[in-house]
Amino acid sequence: MREKYHKDYNLLTRRLLEVGYTVDDHPDHVKVDVPWGSKKSLDNYDGGFIFERWWIFEQTFKTPCGLQCKGLQCHSNMGYMGIEWTFENDMATIHCPYEKKECKLKHEYLQELKALCFECEVHMVDEEYQYEGSVENILKLHDDEIRRKEVSFSLQRNGRVCQEHMHFDRETQEWQMNYDPYFCGRNRCMGMCPVLGHELDKKRGNVFYDVKIEYLRTDLDGTLFEGQIDTQIIKGKKLFDHPVSMDICKLCAKLCQDRIKEKISLQYHTQLFFSEYHGKKFSFEIQNVRAEKRESRDLMQDLADIQSGIQIVHESDMIKRQKEGKRERREKLHEVSVRKLEKKLLKTGYDNLEKFSVDRRHADKWLGPKRIAELEALRKDKEKEKKEQPVQLSLFDRKEETDVLKMDA
């Protein structure tokens, strides 16, 4: 049984067991990490002993190319290709300070996957750490070089750069900037814009656009109109959920039409899927992209479209109807809840409700003292009427009463 678990032990545990250490007797710089309240055992998630982090972070490691580094610079707890790349297996990794993708010195598995192309394994060594020429020293020099290139990149563009649109390309080792005003609008940028070189317009608006949709009427299947294709135009759709500077809106109207198309494609992805693979026609077209403070409407154009058989819908009207429908449903539900509560008060009475119950709180909030008093008066009147109501005697009851008296006699 021990040999079965022994195969799953990490390298550190196997070495300590070979020299005679046990789960209760081990060096101070290692520990057995088990959940609180669990029995201390080497058959755990970590594969036995693990290093104390305060100790391992101060140890010296070396890369295959001979660079030293501290344990604090290393990465542990990665699993890949059946190997646990950890301190305990002497297979921790580090990001290559030279950022060389094609390095034949590192482990072959780290040369195969693109996501790990800059990773390199390191091994613990019994050497005195020297900062000069170490990974930390090279990273500091590399970071300084990146900062210098950033300043140079900004100067070449006369300061017309923005940190939100810049990134450092690790492959080319150069700064790049891809200006996208959509991110400015999404992040609610205001004030001085370094890319445009002036203060953004304080007047705010949005990017409006229309969507023309052609779709197959599946609800007419089995009728004389089966196969009919209808056309609908949804007007006044917004790119942003909030007001944006008009300067950014104008730029987005010119440069961000691909984003509008992507947004609509995601909205109608189901219909587009069935159109492509199941023959249920559905297509859309983006029209009339414009930057405005508020939505404008062309009544004559709407009438012309309606006359040509196109259904016209305005986004703002749809949202308004949805809000009104939601409000009406809430009011109806509230009315039903109030009637239900009043019925309960007529039956049990307000004073019989528990002091901090939900019904009592709702009665105080929804009905108020005046209505509660009216319901209490109605309840008492009904109880009084019930008590004063005459009781009809039955001949059978009278006969049974006579029989009982005879038996007693």
Angle between the N-to-C axes of helices 257-267 and 246-255, in degrees from 0 to 180, rounded to the nearest 10: 80
CA–CA distances in Å: residue 356 to residues 156, 241, 347, 375, 376? 71, 41, 19, 20, 19
Looking at the predicted structure, is the pLDDT value of residue 4 above 70? no
Q: Quickly list H helices, 39-173.
A: 53-56, 109-112, 135-156
The arithmetic mean of pLDDT across residues 168-178, rounded, is 88
Counting residues of the chain whose pLDDT is more than 70, the rounded percentage is: 94
Looking at the predicted structure, is the pLDDT value of residue 319 above 50? yes
* pLDDT value of position 241: 93
Bridge partner residues of 155 (DSSP) = none
Q: Express each pLDDT in 109-141 by its tens digit.
A: 888 888 888 899 999 999 999 999 899 999 999
Q: Express each pLDDT in 274-307 by its tens digit.
A: 999 988 899 999 999 999 999 989 899 889 989 9
Q: Express each pLDDT in 202-242 by its tens digit.
A: 999 999 999 999 999 888 888 888 888 899 999 999 999 99
Counting residues of the chain whose pLDDT is more than 90, the rounded percentage is: 59
Contacting residues for 58 by C-beta, under 8 A, at least 6 apart: 70, 71, 72
Longest dimension (CA), the chain: 126
118/11 Cα distance (integer angstroms): 25
pTM: 0.69
Looking at the predicted structure, is the pLDDT value of residue 7 above 60? no
Q: Where are the domains of the chain?
A: 2-136, 208-241+251-309, 321-388
CA 248 to chain centre: 26
